[in-house]
């Protein structure tokens, strides 16, 4: 019986613990993927009926590609839990306008599996020179934002790898230049390289505040920055080049020490640009850990596109064993043996037409009320 999440999780956690450089051959990945699928088919009745509606059962599946993918938006509408309650955590998506403001819910029955995926991957991409080190976070701490998967991630990074943490994001007031400069001063006094994390939007905010105050600082040599997320739904967007130039100029962190992370609430594993491991030539390419497989699919037919050609990204994440592992996104990218090149949301994502989805308008109306 494969429906025991605890037993399955132990197998997966052991595999993840071998790290991102330990090879996981396709056959071994498939074997784990099919065990995960069988577990999800057995324990999540909604997903099972969805698969049966497509005439797919565990015994008809040859490889992970055959497992039915759920659209990322489905997390807004149905509970996709494959395992016993109560869950350790529930992460919520940010609730975009396009979804009528409805937030997706990702139930996490075993947080240990999430951490087992997060830590070796993070360490490989952000801490190649080792730890512990001080952390400056522009992401709210988990106590303030318990529903945010990003906060959970930074919280765990803080607990596992950092001996001192400055939580600088106040969810109400945002980040002010002074509290950052104070933290930067203490980091500089200490003289050790630091880890700085935040969303792209938070960094833009900080850089604006520093520019207004006419201030800049120089974080100790070896400091690295992890930035994540885009500008979706924000009034101001800035090119990545300008953002990195600002980080170099105002924070004193060179561009080759800035790592972009690509993740989403619906996936418990993350992808990183391997710039600290492979050098600045790897900019623009994101690498998944061995337990996360990705394909690019033709947007019209959902058939796989040839290597290197852009398509809709679909992920199979073994760390999602407690929910649904195969997720179809709305993001466009190309996939090659060395990673994923993201192109952001599908082009023309602005709805064509003077009509607008009713639910989007309802969310606007709610927001204005």
Partner 1 sequence: MNGVFDAWALPAGIDPPRGGDVALPAGGARLRVAAFDAAWVRWLARTLRAASAELRSLPVGAVAASLGRVGARFLDEEDPIRTRALELMPAESGLSPAMASAVLDGMAADWTEERLVELLRTDLGDPTVLDRFVDIGRGSVRALGPELCVQVVSGSVPGVGATALVRSLLVKAPTLLKPGRGDVVLPVLMARALREEDPFLANAVGVVYWRGGQAELEDAALERADAVIAYGGDEVVRGLRERAPVTARFVGYHHRVSVGVVGREALTPDTLHRTASEVAGAAAFFDQRGCVSPQVVYTEEGGAVAPSVFARELAVAFGALEKLLPGGRLQSAEAATLHQVRGSAELLAASGSGVEVHHGGAASWTVVFDPTRTLTAGCVGRVVRVVPVADVLGVAGLLAPVGTHLQTAGVAGCAGRLEALAESLASVGVCRVTPFGGVPFPPPWWHHDGQGPLRALVRWTDVEG
Q: According to CB under 8 A, which residues from 152 to 211 bind partner 1?
A: none
CA distances from 131 to 21, 155, 273 (A): 18, 16, 20
Provide the minimum distance between the beta carbon of 272 and partner 1 in the complex, in angstroms, as a whole number: 24
- The arrangement of strands across the sheet holding 133-137 comes to 162-167, 133-137, 195-199, 224-228, 258-262, 271-272
Provide the minimum distance between the beta carbon of 363 and partner 1 in the complex, in angstroms, as a whole number: 9
- 78 lies in the site for partner 1, by CB under 8 A: yes
Q: According to CB under 8 A, which residues from 334 to 353 bind partner 1?
A: 345-353
Provide the minimum distance between the beta carbon of 56 and partner 1 in the complex, in angstroms, as a whole number: 12
- 247 lies in the site for partner 1, by CB under 8 A: no
Contact 169, 139 (CB under 8 A): yes
Binding partner 1 (rule: CB under 8 A), the pick from 23, 53, 130, 214 is: 53
Binding partner 1 (rule: CB under 8 A), the pick from 72, 187, 219, 319 is: 72
Q: Where are the alpha helices (DSSP H) in 174-304?
A: 177-190, 200-213, 240-251, 275-278
- 100 lies in the site for partner 1, by CB under 8 A: yes
Stretch that binds partner 1, among 21-29, 78-86, 185-193, 262-270 (CB under 8 A): 78-86
Question: What's the chain's Rg over C-alpha atoms?
Answer: 21
C-alpha of 86 from chain center: 24
Measured CA to CA, the distance from residue 20 to residue 123 in angstroms comes to 9
Q: Which is nearer to partner 1, 72 or 162 (CB)?
A: 72
- 46 lies in the site for partner 1, by CB under 8 A: yes
CB-facing half-sphere around the CA of 57: CA atoms within 13 A: 3
Q: According to CB under 8 A, which residues from 249 to 308 bind partner 1?
A: 299-302
Size of the site for partner 1 (CB under 8 A): 51
Q: Which is nearer to partner 1, 7 or 45 (CB)?
A: 45
Measured CA to CA, the distance from residue 70 to residue 185 in angstroms comes to 47
Measured CA to CA, the distance from residue 131 to residue 112 in angstroms comes to 21
Provide the minimum distance between the beta carbon of 239 and partner 1 in the complex, in angstroms, as a whole number: 16
Provide the minimum distance between the beta carbon of 72 and partner 1 in the complex, in angstroms, as a whole number: 7
Q: Which is nearer to partner 1, 188 or 346 (CB)?
A: 346
Binding partner 1 (rule: CB under 8 A), the pick from 124, 321, 328, 340 is: 328
Contact 263, 149 (CB under 8 A): yes
| DSSP string covering 294-348 | EEEE-TTT-PBPPTTSEEEEEEEEGGGTTS-SEEEEEEEEEEETTEEEEEEEPTT
Binding partner 1 (rule: CB under 8 A), the pick from 29, 41, 47, 244 is: 47
Encoding tokens for residue 109? 């029955």
- 1 lies in the site for partner 1, by CB under 8 A: no
Return residues touching partner 1 (CB under 8 A): 45-50, 53, 69-74, 76-80, 98-100, 102, 299-302, 312, 328, 330, 332, 345-362, 364-366
């Amino acid at each position: 019986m494969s429906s025991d999440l605890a037993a399955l999780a132990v197998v997966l956690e052991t595999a993840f613990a071998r790290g991102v450089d330990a090879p996981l051959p396709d056959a071994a990945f498939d074997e784990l993927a099919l065990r995960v699928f069988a577990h999800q088919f057995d324990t999540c009745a909604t997903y099972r009926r969805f698969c049966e509606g497509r005439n797919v059962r565990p015994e008809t599946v040859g490889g992970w590609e055959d497992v039915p993918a759920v659209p990322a938006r489905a997390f807004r509408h149905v509970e996709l839990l494959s395992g016993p309650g109560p869950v350790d955590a529930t992460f919520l998506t940010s609730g975009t306008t396009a979804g009528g403001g409805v937030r997706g819910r990702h139930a996490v029955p075993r947080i240990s599996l999430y951490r087992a995926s997060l830590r070796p991957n993070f360490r490989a991409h952000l801490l190649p020179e080792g730890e512990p080190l001080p952390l400056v976070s522009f992401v709210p701490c988990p106590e303030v934002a318990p529903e945010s998967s990003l906060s959970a991630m930074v919280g765990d990074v803080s607990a596992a790898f950092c001996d001192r943490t400055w939580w600088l994001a106040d969810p109400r007031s945002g980040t002010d230049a002074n509290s950052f400069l104070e933290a930067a001063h203490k980091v500089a006094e200490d003289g050790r390289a630091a880890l700085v994390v935040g969303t792209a939007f938070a960094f833009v905010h900080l850089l604006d505040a520093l520019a207004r105050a006419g201030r800049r600082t120089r974080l100790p040599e070896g400091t690295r920055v992890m930035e994540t997320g885009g500008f979706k739904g924000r009034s101001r967007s800035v090119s990545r080049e300008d953002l990195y130039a600002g980080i170099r100029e105002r924070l004193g962190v060179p561009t080759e020490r800035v790592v972009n992370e690509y993740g989403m609430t619906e996936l418990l594993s993350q992808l990183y640009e391997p710039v600290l491991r492979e050098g600045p030539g790897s900019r623009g390419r994101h690498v998944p850990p061995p337990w996360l497989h990705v394909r690019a699919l033709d947007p019209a037919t959902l058939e796989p596109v040839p290597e290197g050609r852009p398509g809709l990204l679909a992920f199979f994440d073994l760390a999602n064993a407690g929910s649904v592992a195969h997720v179809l996104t709305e993001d466009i990218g190309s996939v090659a043996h060395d990673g994923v090149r993201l192109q952001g949301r599908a082009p023309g994502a602005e709805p064509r037409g003077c009509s607008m989805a009713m639910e989007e308008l309802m969310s606007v109306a709610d927001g204005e009320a």
